[in-house]
Structures are given as structure tokens and as C-alpha cells.
Amino acid sequence: MDKLLITGGSPLNGVVRASGAKNAALPILAATLLTKDLITIKNLPHLHDITTMLELLGSMGCGVVVDEKMSVQLDISTLNNCEAPYELVKTMRASILVLGPLVSHFGRAVVSLPGGCAIGSRPVDLHLRGLEAMGAKIDVTGGNIVATVDGRLQGARIFFDKVTVTGTENLLMAATLAEGQTVLENAAREPEVVDLAECLIAMGAKITGHGTDTIVIEGVEALNGTTYPVMPDRIETGTFLVAAAITGGKVKVIDTDVKSLEAVLAKLEEAGAKVACGENWIEVDMEGRRPNAVNISTAPYPAFPTDMQAQFVALNSVATGVGRVIENIFENRFMHVDEMLRMGADIEVMGNTAIIRGCDKLKGAPVMATDLRASASLVLSALVAEGDTKIDRIYHIDRGYECIEEKFGALGAKISRVLN
């Protein structure tokens, strides 16, 4: 199994381009199930999860043509089944995103129920309750969600008890072809939800209020094809900026989405970084300094994202002072902490709070990636640690970071993929 070998100690310097956002690309690819016209999605990141979603669409009979620039043309007119099997869903929870489009467009969907995962139990009850409110019949049998509707789904007023990103996306997609008006209240405001809505609008959907907590959808009878570029990845961007801050370096991320990173940039400034921004670029300059510890509390957008929590635990572990990090979204998202302890970090976890006392030096060690952002935080820790760190189970990182060793390598990191 592949591992990443990182020799720490060099400040990162240079320019790197943000890839397309995994968490926008996945719902947008699922949304192509809503039209029988040819549709082209551009700026897809070259990631394992994207391949899995394309494989899933292919397994349903859809035509999938990928070009060398990761632009993909999809033809749903050849779809011959509406099933997302366990083999694919177990490797990617976001497969649940095909549920809403399938039942709305074809009146039937069989999607394996995603189980729990490393970061928490992650139920999909709100997705199912919303589809039921729109008139779908939902049965869970043999580990599968079977959703059916006679005729069209019906518009409904749906209030989410909890803010859910993929839940909002699933119902938003389903509502585009429903009969009448759907109102999603306490909806997720994440930039990826907005990107999906913009893609749906380009396909002819009638949507207003995306980016606020109330989204209104007027259902239409059919959606059309389009060409749509996926937004840049704010979490990948944030990870590169933390890499600059943690190593005392200077990194500029280009072709990114500045507005979506406000909460992260505010914390980088609090940590002592000089942050400069242009229309589509962000530069973090740490001028060789050690970061100051910062307090973080994760919450739905526009607050600080849970997907950047682990990276800031890494930053705090070498900072001056003591940082408190509170994880409010997922109940088990501190798996990186035990691995960082192996590198000499001083971190205490109590319930959903981690207290991190910054230490002078981390030391390289063999560590294990447990989930996607935990892996990113181990890469960051390794970049600043003394000596070599070998990170095992890096298939987690390949789900979310395109060409990780090439991109970090170009910034001066000593990083390579090894077999043992």
C-alpha cells in the first residue's frame, strides 16, 4: 500500500493553483441525472471520489467521456438502471447524492444506505424525511434505501432540524423537477450548495435564495444540458495556506475563491500571518515567524469549517501559546490527535474540545491517516517536523487532494510516494 514519505524542516514558498472543489463536483455530477440532454462539467479535480462518482453514473448506463483536462461529457439518455450499490457507496458516502435526482427524474432509486464512517455516525434521516414530504415512498430493506414515486414529486415546505450540506443538495436537486414550489428552510449556505444551484439554474431550474438559509425552488417539467465549470476548492486552498503558516513560508494560491475563505483567513491573520488577496488569489506570508495559537469553533458556513479543523490542530501544535479547538459538527473528528501525539504534540481531548499546547518541535514518526482531513493535518505536521515522517493509508488523502506530492513538491516540500 502506498505511503507518503516527508522530510520536514523546509519553509514552503511559491505559487500553486487551486483544483476544482470535490464537494461541489460531486453534487454537480449527480445533478446531471436530471437531464436527458448532453451535459459537460469542467474543472473537475482528478480525485478518487470523482472517479467513483463517474463509475457510479457509468454503472447506471450513462455515457461518460472524460478528456485529458478533466472535463467530462455525460449522456444520461442511455441510463438503464437506478441503483447505487453498496460496493461503491461504502467507498464514498457522497453517492447518496444520486438519490434525489433519480427519484425526481425517473420515479425510482435504490441507493445503499451509507453506514457510519471514521468521523461520525452521519445519518441521512433528513434527506429521507424531506423526500417523503415531497411524496416519495421510502423503504429501507436489505441495507438499501428504495425510494419511489408515482408521477412527479410534489413541492413542499421543508424545515431541516440540523444544517446538512448534502441533505440540502439532495432536496434542492429533487425539487427542480417537482410539481409546484418547494421551500427549504434552515438550508446549508455552503459555497458548494451555491455552486450546485448555479449549475442547476444553467440547466434551466428556477431557484432563488441559494446562499441564504431559505432556498425557494419552482419545479419545472424538464431540465436542459449545459457546460458548467466547478468552483475552486476552498478546503484545498486553506490547506496550502496553513502549510505556509506552519512552516514560516510564503505561499500564493491562484485560481481560487477568495470570498469562501473568510473565516479561515481571519484565523490565519490571528495566527500572525500576513494575508493578501486579489480577485482570485490569496497569499499568506509568515516571514519566518512561528504562528500564535488560535481558538477555533467549527460550525456551518459562513463560520469556521469542520473540514479545516484538523489542519488548525496541526498549526496550533507548533504555535506559541495554547489553542482551544471545538468540533461541533462531527462527534469523532479528532482521530488525527493520537497520531500527532506520536510526533511529540501536546494535545488533550475532552469531549468535543481539544486543548493544544504549542511545542518547539514536532519529531518525524510513522503515522496512519484515518480520514481525509486527518491525513492533511499529518502532512502539515510532517512538513514542520524534524526528520522523516511516513504516512500510511494515504488512500484517504487521494480522495480529496489532487496530485498532493507534486503540488507540495513544487512549493519546496521534500515529499514522495513510496511503497513501503
Ligand X SMILES: CC(=O)N[C@H]1[C@@H](OP(=O)(O)OP(=O)(O)OC[C@H]2O[C@@H](n3ccc(=O)[nH]c3=O)[C@H](O)[C@@H]2O)O[C@H](CO)[C@@H](O)[C@@H]1O
Q: Is 162 annotated as belonging to a binding site?
A: no
> Which of 307, 398, 402, 405 is the binder for ligand PEP (CB under 6 A)?
307
Q: Is 290 annotated as belonging to a binding site?
A: no
Binds 211: which of ligand X, ligand PEP, none (CB < 5-8 Å by kind): none
By CB under 6 A, what part of segment 267-326 binds ligand X? 306-307
By CB under 6 A, what part of segment 96-155 binds ligand X? 120, 122-127
User: How far is the C-alpha of 324 from the C-alpha of 404, rounded, in Å?
Assistant: 28
Site for ligand X contains 165 (CB under 6 A): yes
Q: Is 251 annotated as belonging to a binding site?
A: no
Catalytic residue among 117, 277, 359, 403: 117
Integer angstrom CA distances of residue 54 from 26, 46, 312, 348: 9, 11, 32, 41
> Which of 29, 89, 94, 264 is the binder for ligand PEP (CB under 6 A)?
94
Binding residue count for ligand PEP, defined by CB under 6 A = 7
CB 150 within 8 A of CB 178: no
User: How far is the C-alpha of 131 from the C-alpha of 304, rounded, in Å?
Assistant: 29
Q: Is 333 annotated as belonging to a binding site?
A: no
Site for ligand PEP contains 374 (CB under 6 A): no
Binds 33: which of ligand PEP, ligand X, none (CB < 5-8 Å by kind): none
Residues sharing a CB contact under 8 Å with residue 226, sequence separation 6 or more, in sequence order: 39, 40, 199, 202, 203
Residue closer to ligand PEP by CB (options 94, 173) is 94
CB 378 within 8 A of CB 3: no
Q: Is 124 annotated as belonging to a binding site?
A: yes
User: Around Cβ 321, how many Cβ atoms within 10 Å?
Assistant: 12
Site for ligand PEP contains 93 (CB under 6 A): yes
**How near is the Cβ of 376 to ligand PEP at its closest, in Å?**
9
The b/e string for 44-68 (b: 16+ C-beta within 10 A; e otherwise) is bbebbbbebbbebbeebebebebee
Site pattern 152..171 for ligand PEP (x: CB under 6 A): --------------------
CB 341 within 8 A of CB 364: no
> Which of 27, 191, 291, 400 is the binder for ligand PEP (CB under 6 A)?
400
Q: Rounded to the nearest 10 degrees, what angle do helices 22-31 and 165-176 cross at?
A: 30
**How near is the Cβ of 298 to ligand X at its closest, in Å?**
8
Site for ligand X contains 330 (CB under 6 A): yes
Query: Closest Cα partner for 5 from 274, 254, 364?
Result: 364
Residue closer to ligand PEP by CB (options 93, 289) is 93
Active-site residue 117, yes or no?
yes
**Residues acting as catalytic residues:** 117
Specify binding-site residues. 22-23, 93, 122-126, 307, 329
Interface residues with ligand X (CB under 6 A) are: 23, 26, 94, 120, 122-127, 162, 164-167, 192, 306-307, 329-330
Q: Which residues bind ligand PEP (CB under 6 A)?
A: 23, 93-94, 307, 372-373, 400
Annotated binding site for phosphoenolpyruvate: 22-23
Binding site per annotation, positions for UDP-N-acetyl-alpha-D-glucosamine: 93, 122-126, 307, 329
